[in-house]
Amino acid sequence: MRFLHTSITVRQMDASLAFYTEVLGLEFERRRPIPENHAEIAFVRDPESGARLELTHWEGKETVEAGEQLDHLAFEVADLDAVLKEVRARGVRVAKEPFRLAGGSGRIAFVLDPNDVWIELIEHPPRSA
């Protein structure tokens, strides 16, 4: 398992992108709508460490209460089904069963940590040799 990124909920995507790139110096990677979730996401990256931050704007959600900013932590896994079987056996709650986003190549699922923080598990298709 490999840690991929942290996702935070933002009120305004353009203002947030300007802050993280122009003020903090992160590099813009990509931005795209997620129609099935009524959301838009953008990724920025620290050029020194490679750490990535996903900015998530939920359509129609203009106010964010204290504590709602952290959206999820993401981990890449080699075999999503095997990981879900293992975490279930350990009593971990599965919040969303495996699915694919439109335009996505891999499968994702979400589990909850003991504090109800969403953990995204991402299985990318095997790379061809």
97 is catalytic: no
- Of 70, 11, 67, 18, whose CA–CA distance to 44 is shortest? 18
Closest by CA to 90, choosing from 119, 111, 72, 75, is: 111
- Residue 98 to residue 118: CA distance in whole angstroms: 14
Backbone phi, psi, residue 47, to 5°: -65, -20
Cβ neighbour number for residue 109 with a 10 Å cutoff: 21
Task: Report the distance separating Cα 42 and Cα 10, nearest Å.
Answer: 10
Q: Mind telling me the catalytic residues?
A: 120
